Structure formats: C-alpha cells, structure tokens
Amino acid sequence: MTKPVHVAVVGATGAVGQAMIDTLLRREFPFASLKLLASARSAGTVVEVRGEQLIVEEATPESFEGIDIALFSAGGDVSLRLAKEAVKRGALVIDNTSAFRMDPLVPLVVPEVNPKEIFKNQGIIANPNCSTIQMMVALYPIYREYGIRRIVVSTYQAASGAGQLAMDELRQTASAILVGENPVAKVLPVSKLEYHYPLAFNVLPQIDVFEANGYTKEEMKMVNETHKILNDARIEVTPTAARVPVMYGHSESIYIETDQPFEISDILRLLAHSPGLVLQDDPEHQVYPQALQAAGQFPVFVGRVRKDLFVKNGLSMWVVADNILKGAALNAVQIAEMWILQEGIGS
Amino acid sequence: MTKPVHVAVVGATGAVGQAMIDTLLRREFPFASLKLLASARSAGTVVEVRGEQLIVEEATPESFEGIDIALFSAGGDVSLRLAKEAVKRGALVIDNTSAFRMDPLVPLVVPEVNPKEIFKNQGIIANPNCSTIQMMVALYPIYREYGIRRIVVSTYQAASGAGQLAMDELRQTASAILVGENPVAKVLPVSKLEYHYPLAFNVLPQIDVFEANGYTKEEMKMVNETHKILNDARIEVTPTAARVPVMYGHSESIYIETDQPFEISDILRLLAHSPGLVLQDDPEHQVYPQALQAAGQFPVFVGRVRKDLFVKNGLSMWVVADNILKGAALNAVQIAEMWILQEGIGS
C-alpha cells in the first residue's frame, strides 16, 4: 500500500507552471491533491484542473504544510525565499529556477542521464536550464559509449523561454511588422536591462545578462550544468545562445568530438534506442527535427546526424525539444515520478 | 579619358536583380546605359530607374551586344545558357549563381579578400554564396594575421535568400499562425522538392538539397568556396545551415581556431579596422549585430567576439550581413567597380 501524495505547483499562473499542471495530468501523475501557489499578485486566479475550479493561493511558508512534492517555477527569488521552508515542512522541492543548480548539495537532474542523483537529495532537486536538458538527453548515449571531449553548440531558442510577456511581445512585434509598422520592444532580450529589441523577423544573440568573460549567463549555464550533470569538468563546451522568432521549441546545432572513434550507423542505432529521444533523420525524405513540430511534444528530437568532413571523431547533429515541456515542466514531473516510485508513495 | 560603360542586369525582376539596380544607383556606379534583362515571362515589366521607365527585355544572346558588364542573377540555368554568349560579345560577366563558382577557370571573388583574382578572369567572375561571403569578410583579417585551421559555423539565414516567393510565404504563414490558422507551405525549404514546411515561428535545418554525405548543398558551398577563396584547402570547415523566420539578414555563429595565439584586444582592433566590416561589440551596452538592423546596410557586422573558455586558440563571434546586399548584389557591384577602375572604363 502506498500513501497518497500531495503536490504543490509554485508559480502556477506562469507559462511553465501551467505546463507543469498539464504535464501532471497528461502523464496521469497519481496526486491525491494539487495545490496551486503563486505570488500575491496572481493569488485568486482560477485554474480549471480535471473539470474542477482551483483557486491559486499566495505562496507562504505555511502553504507547504502537508505537501509531499513542491514544483517551483516562480523565479529564483521565490525559490530562494520559500524552497527551504517547504523542505522544513517535509516536502521534496523540485526547483526549475537557477537558484540552487550549482549548489554542491543539490542534485541537478536529467532523468535520462543521472537519475540516481535524485535519491541523494537533501530536500531540493534542481531542474537544469532548458537548453542544457535537451542537449544532455541527445548527447548522453554517445557520451556513455564513446566519451565526449568537445562540444560546440549554437542555439535557436524560442520566446517562451523568456516567459509569457516575451511571447506576447513576439506576437505584437510580428503583427506590427506585417502591417508595415515600426515594432516597439519592452521585454526582450532581457526585460530588466536597459535596451530592448524586437524579436520578430530578427535574431537576438543575447539570452540573459552578460558575464565579464563575454559569454551570457545562459551560455555559462550550458557549460557549468553540462559539467555537473555528467560529473565531468573536462568537457570543453563552446556555447552561443541566440533567440529566434519561434514561440515554442528550442533548436540546437551541436558539434561534438568523441574520445573513441565511431561508425555513424552505430551512432544512429544508439540514438534511435535511447530513452527520451526520437530520431528524425531521413534527409532523402526531408525528415529532420523542427520547432513547430516539436511544440507540445514530450521527447527530444534529433536528426541531421552526420560525420565531420575533416575531424576524425567529429559529429554534427540538430536537436529540438519543447523548451517548456522537456526543457522545464516535463523534466520536473519525471523527477517527481521517479521519486514516488522509489519512495512507494502515490495512490 | 575613359570610355563609357554599358551595364546589363540579368534577372532584373528578382530580389537580387532589384537590389543590383538599387546598389548601382546608391553607389553611383558610373554606367552610361543600363539594360534590364529577364526571362520571357518577366519581359515587359517596367522598372523605374533614376526617374526613367525602363522596360525589362527578354534575355537572349543578342541582348549582350555592346554590353561591357553583365550582372547575372537569374538562376544557374540562365547563367549556363547565356554567360558565355555575353562573354563572346565582349562583356565581363559577374555571375551571382552557383553555375561557375567551382570552375577552376573562374575566379570566385570577395573584393575585401581576394581582389587580385578579378584580373585573372577569362570573361566570367563568380560571386560566392551569400553565407560564405559574410563569413569571409569577417574571418579574412584574422586568417591573414593568425592563420585559421578550424571553422565551426551555424547559420541563421533569412527567407530572402530563397527568393521573393519564400518571403511571401513567410509573410503568409506568419499571418496565418497569428490568427490561429494552420499555415500551408508550398515553397520552403526547397520549392522543387516534395515536402514543404512553414518557416514562420519555426526553424528549418535544410537550405538547398541534401548531398550523399548528409550535408546540404548550401553547407558544402561554405566548405568548398572557403577553400577556393582563401586558396587553402586545409581549413577544416564544419557547417550547419538553417533557415529562420527573418526577411533580410543572415546571422552566423562562428567558432574558429587560429594557427597562432592571439590577444582578444588585438583581434578586436583588427576587426574594427578591416574593410567592409563594422565591429558592433559592446556587451555592457547590449551592442551586437542583429539581422533587423543589418537589413538594407552594406557592411558585414561582427560582434560577440570572445575567447574560448577551454581551447587555447579558440574564438567565437557573431556575424550578420544583408544577404541580398553584401551577400549578393553589393559584392557583384564591388567587383564591377574594381574592374572598371583597373580597366579605366566608366564615365
């Protein structure tokens, strides 16, 4: 017999919070109760879940009384303020923000890659950054079999990664340009910074703030999180993160060099049979991953897999996933699923 | 005294042909006469040039009688059929198609890189592919000073590179998606192939047809043309070419490894003082190249220049140019300008 599991979603009115609720339902997560939490500003919002009207409550330390699993996606400041309060009250926190990702006491988990880390948690488990997650799902099978010493990755990231306001702005600036008006941007690339640029019919080579070394925070996440997830700081990661006028679905152009030589047919077979991955690789029939097709889907899609023309152990590929699902909500729910299986909780 | 120069534009009604006419005017190219040529289908179209109504004529071998310089951009088949006819009649052909690019008897020229090749022509000079041109302008100063052994490039290419119909389709599919309709694609990624996908709010990792090695023809152009322009087949080029929902302006995420070590300050100084290049690199003030800003501009813009975090001679950068101007029309007109200067023709 298992005990019932009580779940809270913190940031329930945001793009990722909504997707967390949807994903819990789509995957028939066996929750006994679902509590929706958000900032005071969003409290009172009504969200329909399984035909039931749930009222979003303001998240306070006391909100977590009786909660077994709390999925956080309300910004790093909220996680910093409330995650430990939730843990103190007995909840497992699965945090989608960057607040605890590099904390050595907090596991950083992609279930297809390092699931055992889940059980080393001290109350908090961190969800990696969206652009890192899909790269890890695609590369891990190759890493395990051949080793990877080098990654050069350029991203084509969707507006949804910057939240609902960024999606609204993409829609507005696109509409303006289509009728010949001058678009005005106030959100992208980074709402809190001084300058804003339209994303519609444009590409913005800035995601998050710049660090002193000339890389953006988003790019440095891809370096540091890759090292932590694979527990291998020797991998030389060269990231460029750019935002493209897409609503959902991050695309990534990934070049790697493996330690061991490979046959391309073996790589394809490996990718075709790895968890969480769907191989879409048939150039003759123009089959390759596309953001529009990946939107709303759970898997990570990989295609355009090809041997380098010059470098012996070089390999290129194109990797696409729904950044709100596998890049955020789904990855968190998968962690929760593994946790309750192991703990024997859930109805 | 110089003799007057008579210019013809072949493909005058296309996106690049129109830009060739505009560029000749913007740069005050000293033509004595301008003849507009196109397929029989487009003949009769009226184009206004300097307030004068010019009637587009059908391009035939006889069209080139008395022409000194013929700018071709009407498709490879037209170039194959008519370029040599124009040469036979005394014209210098500057061909924007891929018809002659890899012909060992035809110079492949980026004026900022290998201008001397212009004067080795046997009647035809080829304009490189748009994605190669802007990469060459940005990399050549570094190549000359430090040597380059390795290029990993991912492109973010605009719809205009696939012609007017592709731009129309981007506009239509974007409008459809914005009002919640299902977009129908008939042009992109490659009009003559079987499957078509919407570009709006999507990324298409296919430009041109696939070759047997898994790379697209567009990607192989970046490899082969780089080798030919720099006259250096040792450079290991790893290209991924993708189309993004942008009208004008190709963006490129470029990673290189140089032969010689460098200081990043020296690289920045070099790029700031190289012909055809504008350095837009001030992360603190969010200054970096953007497609929307580059559209309609002549230079190649480079920014986000940064040292690799792991690889000693590694360097990343972001390069943007108007693919119709520097990527096609402007490059051709620059070749024509150098030619007439040397030949002493032009009014």
Model confidence pLDDT, tens digit, residues A265-319: 999 999 999 999 999 999 999 999 999 999 999 999 999 999 999 999 999 999 9
Q: Which of B208, B253, B281 to mutate to test the interface with A (most CBs of A within 10 A)?
A: B253
CB < 8 Å to B288, chain A: 205-206
A95 and A194 share one domain = no
B242, B288, B308 member nearest A205 (Cβ):
B288
Residues of chain B contacting residue A320, judged by C-beta atoms under 8 Å apart = 203
**Are A87 and A166 part of one and the same domain?**
no
Instruction: Based on the residue annotation, tell me whether B196 is a catalytic residue of this protein.
Output: no
Q: Does B212 touch chain A (CB under 8 A)?
A: no
| Residue A323 exposure: Cα atoms within 13 Å on the Cβ side | 25
**Residue B140 CB-density burial (10 A; 0-12 exposed, 13-18 middle, 19+ buried):** buried
Statement to judge: residues B55 and B145 lie in one domain: no
A137 & A11 share domain: no
**pLDDT for A256 beyond 50:** yes
Q: Answer yes or no: do B225 and B260 share one domain.
A: yes
Mean pLDDT of A170-184: 96
Average pLDDT score over chain A: 96
Neighbours of B186 (CB within 10 A): 9
Give the pLDDT confidence of A179-195 residue by residue, as tens digits. Answer: 999 999 999 999 999 99
Q: Are residues B67 and B199 in the same domain?
A: no
Our CA-based measurement puts residue A94 at a distance from the nearest CA of chain B, in whole angstroms, of 30
Eight-class DSSP state of A3? B
Q: Is the ipTM of this complex over 0.85?
A: yes
Q: What is the Cα–Cα distance from A77 to A98, expressed in whole angstroms? A: 10
Number of compact structural domains in chain B: 2
Selected residue of A188, A203, A267, A308 to mutate for chain B interface (largest B Cβ count, 10 A): A203
Work out the percent of chain B whose per-residue pLDDT is above 90.
96
| Annotation marks residue B130 as catalytic | yes
pLDDT at residue B347 greater than cutoff 80:
no
The predicted-structure confidence for B18-37, as pLDDT tens digits, reads as follows 999 999 999 999 999 999 99
A234 and A300 in a single domain? The answer is yes
State how far the Cα of B280 lies from the Cα of B300, in Å rounded to an integer: 10
Tens of pLDDT, residue by residue over B158-179, are 999 999 999 999 999 999 999 9
Check if the beta carbon of residue A261 is closer than 8 Å to that of residue A312: yes
Both A111 and A157 in a single domain? no
* pLDDT at residue A1 tops 50: no
CB contact under 8 A, B204 and A305: no
Whether residue A246 and residue B245 make contact (CB cut-off 8 A), yes or no, is yes
Q: Which of A252, A237, A242 is nearest to A152 (CA)?
A: A237
The pLDDT of residue B185 is above 80: yes
Chain B CB within 8 Å of residue A53 CB: no
**Do residue A136 and residue A116 come from a single domain?**
no
Residues B339 and A89: their CA atoms lie apart, in Å, by: 79
Tell me: do B98 and B9 sit in the same domain: yes
Residue B74, both tokens: 């009407």
Quote the DSSP letter at residue B99: S
- Which domain CATH number covers A217? 3.30.360.10
Q: Are residues A181 and A292 in the same domain?
A: yes
Cα–Cα–Cα angle for B192, B198, B199, nearest 5°?
Answer: 100
Strand ranges of the sheet holding B314-321, from the earlier edge strand across to the other edge: B236-243, B148-157, B250-258, B314-321, B300-307, B277-279
Q: Does A164 touch chain B (CB under 8 A)?
A: no
Whether the per-residue pLDDT at B107 is higher than 70: the answer is yes
Question: Each residue of A16-61: pLDDT tens digit?
Answer: 999 999 999 999 999 999 999 999 999 999 999 988 999 999 999 9
Are B92 and B193 found together in one domain? no
DSSP state of A283: G
pLDDT at res. B2:
64
What residues make up the domain containing A205?
132-323
Asked whether the beta carbons of residue A205 and residue B251 sit closer than 8 angstroms, the reply is: yes
Q: What's the confidence (pLDDT) of residue A345?
A: 67
The answer, yes or no, to whether residue B344 has pLDDT greater than 90, is no
Query: Is residue A140 predicted with pLDDT exceeding 50?
Result: yes
Which of B156, B194, B255 minimises the CB distance to A238? B255
Instruction: Say which of B175, B205, B309 has its CB closest to residue A288.
Output: B205
How many residue pairs from chains A and B have C-beta atoms closer than 8 A?
176
Tell me how crowded residue A284 is: count the other CB atoms within 10 A of its CB. Answer: 7
